[in-house]
Amino acid sequence: MSPERLRELLQEVATGQRPVEDVARTLENRVQEDLGYARVDHDRARRCGHPEVIFGSGKTPEQVAGIFCELAESHDRVLATRIDRNQMEAVLSAGVNACHDELARTLTWFRKPDIPRSGEVAVVCAGTSDLPVAREALVTADWMGARTRGFFDVGVAGLHRLLAIEGELHTASAIVVVAGMEGALPSVVSGLVSRPVIAVPTSVGYGASFEGMAALLTMMNSCAAGVSVVNIDNGFGGGYLAALINEQGIKTPSRSPGR
């Protein structure tokens, strides 16, 4: 449970809004809450630094709403990914004023809208068709407290577009690079900057891209140092890893391109 939520509960006891027994039961059940269809891990924020994230695919609107409300009761922020409109409407109908990013397919909620942010995560996107995955990475890193910047439609088919924003990439602590087709963009970016690069292959491409396998294999075989790879279309995983790197304060002096 977050310190802010704990203070709220204690204040409710002090003002007589809630009985001591009710708050005691709330605190006793915070490690895990069994909803019947899900065991909500309330202790994850203490162990891992961030609350549990809801993966919406395969869940009913009622299940998503139930888990979302349970997390919102005890934490300062909640994130759900792969959310459709019906699931979003169920959460809103349950009384949680969450924000739906339709392109990213995410649902976010903050107890306080203006949370402190530090460092910077950049998300570089090869083409407009890759935007849903890139947006998922951006929303995730933002939810985790990083300042974020997006650079879209800068794929290798028009290399001048990437070189035009090269200098701006040096301010980031970590860079998420999202690309489909042949998946070459992360190698190019890593060859230009002194920052960790998290490569995210997408399922965007024609038949021989094999729904992202071509991009995945290209990224895993990158000749550039400093590239790590997450699964196909896993913008959440890329954004999460970049935000964790950002939290560690990994910063090296910016270097000029040397040209």
Mean pLDDT across 129-143: 97
Two tokens at 15? 């003002």
What 3-state class would DSSP assign to 112? Answer: coil
Tokens 């309330």 found at: 42
Write out the two tokens for 175.
């860079």
- Please name which of 215, 221, 220, 246 lies closest in space to residue 233, comparing C-alpha atoms: 215
Stretch among 9-13, 66-70, 167-171 having the lowest mean pLDDT: 9-13
CA distances 252 to 150, 161, 257, Å, are 21, 25, 15
| CA dist 232 → 7, 10, 142, 204, 224 (Å) | 41, 45, 21, 10, 20
pTM of the model: 0.83
Structural domains of the chain, ranges and CATH numbers in brackets:
31-110 (no CATH), 118-247 (3.40.50.1970)
Q: Facing residues of 59 across strands?
A: none
- In one-letter notation, the amino acid at residue 3 is P
Angle, CA 230 vertex, CA 226 and CA 234 arms, to 5°? 135
Return d(Cα 188, Cα 98) in angstroms, integer.
37
Q: How many CB atoms lie within 10 A of CB 42?
A: 20
Place of tokens 């649902």: 107
Rounded Cα–Cα distance for residues 99 and 185 (Å): 31
Residue 252 has a pLDDT of 46
**DSSP H or E segment with residue 175:** strand 174-179
The backbone region for 171, taken as left when phi is positive above 0, alpha when psi lies in -120 to 50, beta otherwise, is alpha
Mean pLDDT (whole number) for 68-88: 94
Q: What is the pLDDT of residues 146-174, one digit of tens each?
A: 999 999 999 999 999 999 999 999 999 99
**Closest to 30 in 3D by CA, of 60, 2, 64:** 2
Q: Which two tokens stand for residue 188?
A: 């190019």
pLDDT tier, 251 (very low <50, low <70, confident <90, very high otherwise): very low
Report H helices in 29-114.
Answer: 44-48, 61-74, 85-93
pLDDT per residue as tens digits for the range 227-245 = 999 999 999 999 999 999 9
What's the CA gap between 184 and 126, in Å, rounded?
Answer: 9
Q: Residue 120 forms beta bridges with which residues? A: 147
For residues 136 and 105, is the Cβ–Cβ distance under 8 A? yes
Mean pLDDT of the region 105-130: 92
